[in-house]
Structures are given as structure tokens and as C-alpha cells.
Amino acid sequence: MLSLGTYPDVSLKAARERRSAFKRLLASGVDPSLDRKEKKIRQGEVSENTFKAVAIRWHENWKANKSPDHVKRVYQCMEKDLFPHIGSRPINQISIQLLLMVVKKIDARGAYDIAKRAYETAGQVFRFAVALRACARPIRWLR
């Protein structure tokens, strides 16, 4: 038994199309209920593996023996300069070219030291992601 949606939200035509799609899945040997559950799990994994989510986990782990002012500055740098550009992207889909583009934007406004620190912070987040297995590729290119 699968729910196709509630009546006002899902029209009869849309419900019939969904039913047909489920029947096609069954005909190909795939259980529609299990398929739906797997998609939800995969979608949850993607949201847990965004750059911002991993960076926040890294920050919580990293700040243990740092001064409160330094912890605040690093987080503000990520929030202001990194999260708006790459925060919502899955961490394993961020390329070095994209990261360098973000760093060059910071550099272009004359904030050279902040650009360098943002690049170093991103490198630490990527290395943390490798340790968490959220990102499979080696991050040697970030040194």
C-alpha cells in the first residue's frame, strides 16, 4: 500500500500518473515502497553532506581549545564568505575551480588575508570531510 497524496493537493490525473509509475516500477522488479524510502535516505544524506553542514561539524570539533574571539572570527568568515557561495552544495561536488573562484572574489575586494584564511579553513573542512567519509577524493590539492 502506497499513498499517492491527499485529494486537494493531488489531482485525480496526477494520482493516476503516479499509480502508473508505481506499476512500471513493479513490472521492472523494483518495490515502489522501498524505492521511495531509499530516495528519502539519499536525500537526507545529501543535506547532511553539504559544505555548510560539514563545516559546522568541523567548527564544533575544532573550537575545543581555541579562544572565543578566534572561534567567532573563523565562523563569521565562513558565514560571510564561504557559505553564501558553496554552503548549500554537497561537499563531494565542490571542485577546486569553484573554491578558487570564491577565494578570488574575496581577494578582489582587497581582503587578501581573509581570502588566504578562507582558503585554509576550507581546506581544513575538506580534510575533515574525508575523515567523515563525506568526501571520497584526497584533498592534497588544497594545500
CATH number of 51-142: 1.10.150.130
Asked whether the predicted pLDDT for residue 39 surpasses 80, the reply is no
Q: 3-class DSSP state for residue 120? A: helix
Asked whether the predicted pLDDT for residue 97 surpasses 70, the reply is yes
End-to-end CA distance of the chain: 53
Domain assignments of the chain as residue spans, ordered by start? 12-46, 51-142
Q: DSSP for 74-106?
A: HHHHIIIIIHHHHTTSBGGG--HHHHHHHHHHH
Residue among 83, 78, 95, 87 at smallest CA distance from 137: 95
Asked whether the predicted pLDDT for residue 122 surpasses 70, the reply is yes
Q: For residue 33, what pLDDT band results from cuts at 50, 70 and 90?
A: confident
